[in-house]
Amino acid sequence: MIPFNFEYYKPSTITGAVEAFQTAHDLGQHTVYYSGGTEFITFARTNKLHADVVIDLKGIPECKALELDENDLIIGTGVSLNKISESGLFPLLGETVKRIADHTSRNKITLGGNLNSQLMYREGILPLLLADAKVKIAGKDTPVALDKVFHHEITLEPSAFLAQIIVDQSYLKLPFSTMKRTRFSKVGYPVATVAALMKDEELRIAFSGVCEFPFRSADVEAILNDTSMPAENRIEEAITYFPAPLVHDMHASAEYRRFVLKNLMTETLHALEAAK
Ligand SMILES: Cc1cc2nc3c(=O)[nH]c(=O)nc-3n(C[C@H](O)[C@H](O)[C@H](O)COP(=O)(O)OP(=O)(O)OC[C@H]3O[C@@H](n4cnc5c(N)ncnc54)[C@H](O)[C@@H]3O)c2cc1C
């Protein structure tokens, strides 16, 4: 049971959602956006979160879109992870999000919720960073590059939300690899997830679970693409350029994470360099 009362709104337009948020916010009410709701409900039940007003984004048609236009794939942030995988439209994204949670939870968890999760994993962002995705932010006319709003986490103005993700179609069928290792079962938080794709014979690679935020790094990619060195040396050196220390927590020690990470990076290089 959720131990507090809140007002619930389900607007049918982007403008209506922003206006509802702004009105409540101006009245001093703590207001949150809600997409799949799984994180909201879990955190509210355990008193890790409180809200006076909840604005459900699932009634907004743009947030439910999943379609190809002339040049791009458009993914509404209210689309469930299962729908994305089942569509087969962007296999790297589909395969990556297919390893998040269990099948029943993935019917509810949305891409927007995953990208804005308070947990450190946000695995759905890896393919989007690799594909130079753009985002449509509520209230803004023009889409912006994802890396303009993603600095360790997605940061938006309080009343703004992510409405759509836009991926240029030229990225959809490039050679890719996506691998996840958990502590015990197939379903679980990642000890390490490594997603990669090959574009113009250059490896692009992004990580989740290893540092306290998901990331893609130009330094790491430059080292891994320097094929004058053996793969083992490239991987050792690339890890020294990670933007933060390896996580050491109840799921895995930093040493174990390093071991798993090196294996995944070796497998990734092996798979994608063979595809060159
Ligand atoms: C069983 C289970 C296992 C999990 N395992 C993993 C895992 O292995 N890897 C992983 O990455 N994650 C994992 N998660 C975390 C999950 O991806 C997040 O909790 C995610 O936030 C849930 O999505 P939702 O749509 O239900 O989010 P919601 O509860 O609706 O929202 C989550 C947060 O995102 C914000 N938000 C939602 N939509 C938007 C938007 N469009 N714009 C801006 N902010 C928005 C909300 O305000 C809220 O703060 C797991 C979750 C569960 C339940």
3-state secondary structure labels for all residues of 168-217: EHHHCCCCEEEEEEECCCCCCCEEEEEEEEEECCEEEEEEECCCCCCEEC
Q: How far is the CA of 136 from the centre of ligand 1 (A)?
A: 18
- Helix, strand, coil abundance in the chain, percent, nearest 5: 40, 25, 40
Rg (C-alpha) for the chain, rounded Å, is: 19
Which ligand 1 atom sits nearest the alpha carbon of residue 122? 11
pLDDT, residue 235, reads: 98
**Cβ count within 10 A of residue 48:** 10
Residue 100 is encoded by which pair of tokens?
A: 């998040």
C-alpha of 213 from chain center: 10
Phi then psi dihedrals of residue 259, to 5 deg: -60, -50
**Cβ count within 10 A of residue 153:** 16
Q: Is the CB of 33 under 6 A from ligand 1?
A: yes
pLDDT, residue 231, reads: 96
pLDDT, residue 274, reads: 79
Q: What predicted TM-score, i.e. pTM, was given to this entire model?
A: 0.97
- Asked if residues 121 and 190 have their Cβ atoms less than 8 Å apart, the reply is yes
Phi-psi region of 37 (alpha: psi -120 to 50; beta: other; left: phi over 0): left
Q: Is the CB of 186 under 6 A from ligand 1?
A: no
Residue 210 is encoded by which pair of tokens?
A: 């290893």
Find the Cα–Cα–Cα–Cα dihedral 92, 133, 276, 211, rounded to 10°. Answer: -70
- Smallest CA-to-CA distance from 180 within 275, 77, 97, 276 is with 97
Q: Is the CB of 214 under 6 A from ligand 1?
A: no
Sign of the Cα pseudo-torsion (153, 158, 163, 168, in order)? negative
- State how far the Cα of 220 lies from the Cα of 234, in Å rounded to an integer: 9
Phi then psi dihedrals of residue 216, to 5 deg: -125, 140
pLDDT, residue 185, reads: 76
Which ligand 1 atom sits nearest the alpha carbon of residue 101? 3
Q: Which residues of the chain have pLDDT under 70?
A: 276
- Smallest CA-to-CA distance from 192 within 265, 105, 111 is with 265
Mutate to test the pocket of ligand 1, among 14, 18, 30, 38 (most ligand atoms within 8 A of CB): 38
